[in-house]
Each structure stands twice: as C-alpha cells, then as structure tokens.
A = this chain, B = another copy of it.
Amino acid sequence: MSRPGRRATIIDVAARAGVSRQTVSRAMNDMPGISDETRDRVMAAAEELNYRPSRFGRGLVEQGPTTLGLVVGTLANHYFAELGAAVVRACAPHGWNVVLAEGEDSAHPEKAAADLSRRVDALVGYGVATAGIRGGGMPVVQLDGTAEHVPDVGVVELPREQAMTDLAAHLRERGARRPVVLDLGTDESAGRTRALVAALDGLVEDGQVPVRVVDARTGHPEALRAILAEGADTLVAFNDELAVRLLRALRRDGVAVPGDVRVTGVDGLEISTLVSPELTTLAIDIDEVAAVTVDLVAGMLAGRVPLRGEDAHRTVPYRLEVREST
C-alpha cells in the first residue's frame, strides 16, 4: 500500500485501480452505474491492499445510529451479563447500538470508561466509577448509584433497604437466630455486606452479625463447614452466584436446606429459580432497570432531561422473593 504501516484508504485503492475515489465507493457498496469489469478491478485492488472502508469516514457522511457504551465490572458475573443482555434489548427499539466493555480486567477501570466515553454517544456504568468522567455534554448514567453521584451524572438507584428489612423479618419469622453474612472480600462487596449486617442486626441476641469471606467460584467448602460448625443457622450470601454455589457445596456435604441451614441470595438471577431448593433472594427486575436506564439516556440525548441533578435521578427497588431455601 502507498504508505506502509498505515491502513489503506479509498485513495490508495483508487490509485491502484486507476479510477477515482467515487468509483471505488461504488464498487465497495455495490452501487449501480459501474461496469462489471471496473468493479472487478477495483475489488481486486482493494483485496490486494487489504482495504476496508473506515467506519468513521462513512459514519461522518451517513450519520450513523446512536451508540451507547455500557461498562460493567466483569461479565464473568452473571448479573452483569444479564444486565448487558437487557440493555441491548432495551436499546433495540430505538435502533441504538451497544458497546459492551469490562472495567475490571483493565489496569485502570476509570480509564477504560473514560476511553470508551470518547467513542460513544452516551455512557452507562455499573460497578465502575463514572462520576469522574468529563463527558463534555455526553449523557453519563451511574447504575446502582447513590445520592452522592447526583451532582455529577445521571443516577439509577437500586435501593435494597426495604427488601433487606423484609428479609430480616422473614428470617425472624422462620426462626433464624444465628445468621452469617458471606462476603466475597472484594472492594465492591463491602457496602452491600455492611448493609446486610445492619439489617440483620435485630436477629441476633448479643453482639453483631458475623461476616465471613468465601471464594466466589467454589463457595469454599472448608470455610463453609467451619461456619456451620460455629452454629450458623442462616447463610446470607452476597449475591445469587455465591448462594447457588453454597447450595451445591451444602448438597455435596449432605446438609439440608432449609432444614439444617437457610440460604439467601441477592440479585434475583434466573438461576435462582432453577436450582434446588429454589433460592430465596432479594430480586430486581433487570429488564425494568434496563428500560429505566435507556429511557433516562434517551431523555438526556433529546435534551428533555438534564445531565445531572435530581431530575436525572431514577429509582428501581429490590424486593424480597421468598422461595424454598428459607
């Protein structure tokens, strides 16, 4: 190609094929008004140069669709994967594209989000701080954000307080007296774990609800046995992923649920209804979260909704879903 190391452009192809840029465009886009012979020559030249049209040049003149960027902590977490799917679905009626990115694997999650913010028309983050992003007029929405984010970005808050209170009442009614909160030991899990401990505080006679850290992927069978040996009668897992793994570990050890010990999760993933026993959990309608978020973004893009402040604040609450595991 004309400039080695650089990607071939329409000009390189035109030169090689001995035609004008416009003729190359006609050939590449299968447009009428070009002879077969010329087309073949152009296509051959394009192939030789490994030419691909730039989507930017094309988008500039064609006015491509709105693109929404979604940054989540890690797609290894099914909750984020389901959210991604829900957001894609919610964007489809608008004709928007969705760029999905993980914050966690990159060295600087905030950097990943900031980078992406320059390539999209709007940015949604969950489990990644978006508040610091200088969007330059671009809609930025923090999912699972709190009041403190409101001055900087749009916020969709997912309050769990009421559901946690309901959970505590439910567990009390079921006779639970020695709950243990199982944490993943990550930075993000800290806040939710604190909230769970606070909500369950009324259940225990003396002292505080203990917190134990277990492995996210295995549920850490040994740690689990130690916890049960200490007399725990209820395992309150940080999320459903962990809870279903705990259920598996308990099953393998022959521990009855909810007979010997109760188990609860958080998130309301579909999987919580497919395991045995079906899991009691704090659930949220992820399609509603996605719909509310996309609607908020749409309002911002249209200029109907401000980019920050109380008017850019939405709420979708968790609710208690009682099933077999308690």
Contact = CB atoms under 8 A, between A and B. Distances in A.
Interface of A: 28-30, 46-47, 50-60, 62, 64-65, 67, 75-76, 78, 81-82, 84-85, 88-89, 92, 97-102, 105-106, 116, 118-121, 134, 136-138, 244-245, 247-248, 251, 270-271, 273-276, 301, 303, 307
A78 B65 CA distance: 27
A14 B199 CA distance: 53
Given A46-B136, A64-B56, A85-B81, A97 B97 contact: no
Contacts of A270: 78
B98 A100 contact: yes
Contacts of A120: 55
A99 B98 contact: yes
Contact of A88 (B54, B101, B119): B101
Contacts of A51: 137
A274 B244 contact: yes
A52 B106 contact: no
B98 A64 contact: no
Given A97-B119, A102-B89, A248-B274, A60 B56 contact: yes
Contacts of A119: 55, 59, 64-65, 97
A56 B53 contact: no
Q: Which of A102, A247, A301 counts the most chain B CB atoms within 10 A? A: A102
